[in-house]
Structure 1
Amino acid sequence: MARQLERGLPHCHNSQVVLEFQSNWLASGARLDVQELRAGYAEDVLKGVTFSVEPRMKVGVVGTTGCGKSSMLLALLRIIEPRGGRIVINGIDTRDIGLATLRTALGLVPQEPMLFTGTLRHNLDPFKAYTDGRIKKAVNCCHLESFVKSLPLGLDHQVSDEGGNLSFGQRQLLCLARMVLRQPALLLLDEATSAIDPATQESVQDTINHAFPTSTMLAVAHRLETIMEFLGHQVMMLL
């Protein structure tokens, strides 16, 4: 699991040295194996689903409302637990992994972006794990540089409750920038481009294409055309 440590070293005149660690478990990327998965709520929505995703591959889960797309993501995050079968990441059953460890390895860009009251910097880096330079690079990757520069306080701009003083597209791009900072081994995209304008959709797609070189991606969509731009031919249908 990646974690950031920043230390001021006296003999370096208070300059910051950033050390980044990753366990061997995910060092070569995340391979995902879903084996005969059964999961759901009152009744199973997923009934014996099996598929594999190679490390650093992009895969789409496409299907109609109610077919189990979102349930798949919830099961991966262990928000709902499998009733049968297994979810395995690099040979380890996710039920044998602590929740904090699992959710550090996974990242989610939801359909409804989630922001908190506080500064832009706090929303991007709530645990103060990254330098301003890293944060600005993530902002630039998500095509938000001009927007942040236009704000009098820049990264210290205050975000109102649930991001109410930002546009929907800006909120979605900030959630994506949060993932660019984290670089999760397995990135989950839940209808990430379905509710945004075409210009923002293009920015999101460009970021997904170029800003996650080592991440395995699983993208959920109701319509195939919304994810074809960055998935290419690597698509799985879940009906």
Structure 2
Amino acid sequence: MTRRSQGLPATRFSDAIPVLTAAAAEMKTNATNYYYIGFAQNKLGHGDQAITALNQSLAIDPKDPDSLTLLADIYFSQIRQNPAIARQVISIGERLIAVRDDERAWGLLGQAYLVDKQYPKAAPLLDKFARAHPDSGGAWYNLGVAFSRSSQWKPAAEALEETARLAPTNIAALLELGYVYESDKQYDKALAAYQHAFEASGQRDETARAGIDRVKQAKPEVR
């Protein structure tokens, strides 16, 4: 059982922090208290304080999987605003997977590699994550993008087709699928994917419209 599953000793996170801080001051070599402080601070939305506490935990126990996981989660939540943070997640994720080679680590590290455009490293991890979550359209989409950006058209198409099956109106997945089939010169399938994306967008998506026109020009007999 992980510390996370055991919960905090106080119901309110704001009440827990002073208690945990006092305990940490008394037991300076106990990483658990710093982990809990980081957990509570994160729940309160205090990201910087959470990061500080978790780094203190890891200074005591560099292989603590709970602290590594939560720290990676916090940084990953900031990736959309600052993609450069992916490097930080990668550094933590590589440490995490060395001590906990499980689906949590696969997802975190695989997605961080994907954001950082390290597609060959992302694909194997995202493949394992998708197979652990076969009903997740998002997992298959991430895998499809990793294969697509590596120009591995067949596995990319397979993953994106699975995304389309699970989420038939996912425009991003349909556009990526169209791109994959177009790149692989499977123009009939490319046209179908682009048309599906165009219809799913209410006939408003210009990328889908451009893909339809491009495929028709590349192979005029495709209609």
TM-score by length of 2: 0.28
Whose Rg is larger? 2
Task: Pick the structure with more strand per residue.
Answer: 1
Identify which of structures 1 and 2 has the higher relative contact order when contacts are C-alpha pairs closer than 8 Å and 6+ apart: 1
TM-score by length of 1: 0.26
Task: Pick the structure with more helix per residue.
Answer: 2
